[in-house]
């Protein structure tokens, strides 16, 4: 992470159109790191990154909107998920499963989790296995438990090495 005096350089890069710098500056304002927390400024920077086609910028914007209960988050997650961004499919699956800002649809949630896990998203695999276990016959549940446990150990290892790895990016609800 850059030092406080480096923030000006990141802001200059963000103003010049660097999407990664826009995401960083948006994150800094969102979390109140290196600057005073300001959700309006954070949203503006994340929108700029998303507007340039940055999957990560769009995803972080969607997560911010989701936290405040804005339905636009679902539209963003859907667009990003349809383009193959696995963290977006994972989160969209969570929203579909719980009925958060969208009609509850467990089957469609499973489809989104499956799409995410096929792209390597480990936490989506865990959610999918838990869902499949819930509808599986009793005699198959130990198999799902074992697969879930193995995936959980894998996810923990990846997360410990890099908590921003796209294979574990998302909420753990």
3-state secondary structure of 63: helix
d(CA 143, CA 160): 26
The answer, yes or no, to whether residue 3 has pLDDT greater than 60, is no
Whether residue 82 contacts residue 60, with contact meaning beta carbons closer than 8 Å, is answered with: no
d(CA 60, CA 49): 10
pLDDT at 173: 53
pLDDT tens track for 45-54: 999 999 999 9
Q: Which of 123, 128, 46, 115 lies closest to 82 in space, CA to CA?
A: 115
Shared-domain flag, residues 84 and 167: yes
N-terminal to C-terminal alpha carbon distance within the chain: 27
What single-letter DSSP state applies at residue 140?
G
Q: Please indicate, yes or no, if residue 129 is contained in any of the structural domains.
A: yes
Mean pLDDT across 164-169:
92
d(CA 64, CA 47): 11
3-state secondary structure of 144: helix
The answer, yes or no, to whether residue 4 has pLDDT greater than 60, is no
The answer, yes or no, to whether residue 172 has pLDDT greater than 80, is no
Domain count within the chain = 2
Name residues whose C-beta falls within 8 Å of residue 64's C-beta, 6 or more positions apart in sequence.
Answer: 30, 39, 42, 43, 46, 73
Q: Please indicate, yes or no, if residue 144 is contained in any of the structural domains.
A: yes
The answer, yes or no, to whether residue 112 has pLDDT greater than 70, is yes
Mean pLDDT across 157-163:
95
Supply the range of the domain harboring residue 106: 71-173
Shared-domain flag, residues 158 and 114: yes
With a pLDDT cut of 70, the percent of the chain lying above it is: 96
Shared-domain flag, residues 166 and 133: yes
pLDDT at 1: 46
**Hey, what are 25's tokens?**
């500056």
Q: Please indicate, yes or no, if residue 16 is contained in any of the structural domains.
A: yes
Mean pLDDT across 125-148:
97
With a pLDDT cut of 90, the percent of the chain lying above it is: 91
CA distances from 119 to 81, 85, 168 (A): 11, 8, 12
Shared-domain flag, residues 98 and 39: no
pLDDT tens track for 52-91: 999 999 999 999 999 999 999 999 999 999 999 999 999 9
Q: What are phi and psi of 165, to 5 degrees?
A: -60, 130
CA distances from 16 to 27, 47, 84, 124, 134 (A): 17, 15, 28, 36, 50
Shared-domain flag, residues 163 and 96: yes
The answer, yes or no, to whether residue 166 has pLDDT greater than 50, is yes
**Hey, what are 158's tokens?**
């990846």
Query: Which of the residue ranges 3-12, 40-49, 52-61, 88-97 would you say has the lowest mean pLDDT?
Result: 3-12
pLDDT at 170: 86
Shared-domain flag, residues 93 and 40: no
Q: Please indicate, yes or no, if residue 3 is contained in any of the structural domains.
A: no
Shared-domain flag, residues 112 and 170: yes
């Amino acid at each position: 992470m850059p030092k406080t005096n480096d923030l000006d350089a990141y802001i200059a890069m963000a103003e010049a159109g660097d999407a990664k710098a826009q995401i960083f500056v948006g994150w800094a304002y969102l979390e109140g790191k290196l600057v005073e927390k300001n959700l309006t400024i954070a949203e503006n920077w994340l929108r700029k990154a998303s507007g340039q086609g940055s999957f990560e910028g769009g995803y972080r914007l969607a997560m911010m909107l989701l936290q405040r209960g804005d339905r636009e988050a679902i539209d963003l997650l859907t667009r990003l998920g349809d383009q193959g961004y696995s963290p977006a499919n994972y989160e969209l699956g969570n929203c579909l499963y719980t009925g958060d800002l969208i009609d509850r649809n467990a089957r469609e949630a499973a489809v989104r989790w499956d799409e995410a896990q096929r792209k390597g998203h480990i936490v989506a695999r865990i959610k999918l296995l838990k869902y499949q276990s819930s509808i599986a016959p009793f005699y198959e549940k130990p198999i799902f438990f074992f697969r879930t446990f193995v995936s959980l150990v894998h996810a923990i290892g990846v997360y410990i090495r890099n908590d921003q790895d796209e294979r574990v990016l998302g909420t753990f609800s």
